[in-house]
């Protein structure tokens, strides 16, 4: 007889298989979709999301949109749902919206953006414009970007949440700066999400941000998982270690992503890309096994050795 955990695992496996068009006979060999729950609600979301900084800041020409359409198709096919953007990212919100409008049937979407301005009315106007640009009736998440006028904007967001205009609210930092003030807000405000940088090379978030998120019951959205691509300079041409096979990783990108989301306080990570092959590779980290504590230590040891030899 299956226990509850086994039944949930089987259901997740079946859902992942359906997304890839796999027959029931292949279920036994199909990796399970990895999800984590948002502490404030218990809602489960896939651990691999998508960022849009720089990658979606393009013009609206067919030539520019075509590769982004392929990227989003691959994202949704691999059961992705969390898309994060911001007015700070130029035309990114608009390009996401353009592609969503052109889809015959929109897949399940967890739409996240940020408010990045000063003043109450300016913040409201910006968030309403973001909804029009990104083609969403109601955002799942709006966060105050880089703590910009956070008291004013968070006051509006708390009211919007009470009124049902947004589902979740939060704050972000994109450069690892202002951690002291960031922690103060985490400890004093009713946040659903925080976003900050964390990866196998930049582990400053382990000191206070991740523990505070766990203590306060705040979901975390992780940016800069590849340290702006510099991690690949260290691993280029190097063979994957044995531990990669044990956690269903076939590339260094997946290795880095699974290190992040295996942290107990990491909810999801949002790598950004405009290249189809990179998106397909990223999304393979949405399935299979996550490293345990001992495997994480081995991953750190492997990476440290590669750094030392670089």
pLDDT by residue, tens only, the chain of 310 residues? 333 333 334 344 344 434 434 333 334 466 899 999 999 999 999 999 999 999 999 999 999 999 999 999 999 999 999 999 999 999 999 999 999 999 999 999 999 999 999 999 999 999 999 999 999 999 999 999 999 999 999 999 999 999 999 999 999 997 666 689 999 999 999 999 999 999 999 999 999 999 999 999 999 999 999 998 899 999 999 999 999 999 999 999 999 999 999 999 999 999 999 999 999 999 999 999 999 999 999 999 999 999 999 8
Q: In Å, how far from its chain's centre is CA 77?
A: 16
The greatest distance separating any two alpha carbons of the chain, rounded to the nearest whole angstrom, comes to 59
How far out from the chain centre does Cα 300 lie? 22
Question: What is the predicted pLDDT for the residue at 310?
Answer: 81
- Predicted confidence at residue 174, as pLDDT, reads 76
Q: What are phi and psi of 273, to 5 degrees?
A: -155, 155
For position 25, what pLDDT does the model report? 35
**Rg, Å, the chain Cα set:** 19
Residue with tokens 């496996």: 13
Tokens describing residue 33: 């979709």
pLDDT for res 181: 93
Q: Give the bridge partners for 196, in sequence order.
A: 222
97, 134 Cβ separation under 8 angstroms? yes
185's CB contacts (< 8 A; 6+ apart) are 147, 150, 154, 171, 191
What size, in residues, is the chain?
Answer: 310
For residue 134, what are its two tokens?
Answer: 């990104």
Q: Up-side HSE of residue 132: CA atoms within 13 Å toward CB?
A: 6
> pTM for the complete prediction?
0.89
Sign of CA dihedral 277, 282, 283, 287: positive
Closest C-alpha among 103, 104, 101, 129 to residue 115: 129
Q: Report the alpha-carbon distance of residue 82 to residue 96 in Å, rounded.
A: 12
């Amino acid at each position: 007889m299956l226990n509850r955990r086994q039944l949930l695992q089987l259901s997740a496996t079946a859902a992942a298989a359906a997304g890839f068009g796999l027959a029931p006979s292949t279920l036994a060999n199909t990796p399970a979709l990895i999800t984590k729950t948002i502490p404030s609600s218990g809602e489960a979301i896939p651990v691999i999301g998508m960022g849009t900084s720089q990658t979606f800041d393009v013009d609206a020409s067919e030539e520019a949109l075509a590769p982004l359409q392929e990227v989003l198709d691959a994202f949704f096919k691999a059961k992705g749902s969390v898309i994060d953007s911001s007015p700070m990212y130029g035309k990114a919100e608009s390009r996401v919206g353009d592609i969503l409008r052109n889809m015959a049937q929109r897949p399940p979407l967890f739409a996240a953006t940020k408010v990045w301005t000063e003043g109450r009315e300016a913040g409201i106007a910006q968030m309403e414009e973001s909804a029009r640009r990104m083609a969403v009736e109601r955002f799942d998440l709006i966060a105050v970007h880089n703590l910009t006028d956070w008291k004013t904007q968070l006051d509006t967001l708390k009211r919007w949440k009470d009124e049902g205009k947004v589902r979740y609210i939060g704050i972000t930092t994109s450069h690892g700066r202002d951690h002291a003030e960031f922690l103060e807000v985490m400890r004093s405000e009713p946040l659903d999400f925080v976003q900050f940088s964390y990866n196998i090379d930049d582990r400053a978030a382990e000191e206070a941000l991740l523990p505070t998120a766990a203590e306060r019951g705040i979901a975390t959205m992780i940016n800069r998982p590849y340290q702006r691509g510099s991690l690949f300079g260290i691993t280029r041409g190097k063979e994957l270690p044995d531990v990669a096979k044990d956690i269903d990783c076939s590339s260094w990108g997946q290795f880095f992503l699974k290190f992040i989301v295996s942290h107990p306080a990491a909810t999801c990570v949002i790598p950004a890309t405009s290249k189809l092959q990179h998106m397909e590779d990223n999304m393979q980290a949405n399935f299979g096994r996550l490293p345990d504590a001992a495997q994480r230590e081995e991953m750190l040891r492997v990476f440290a050795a590669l750094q030392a030899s670089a």
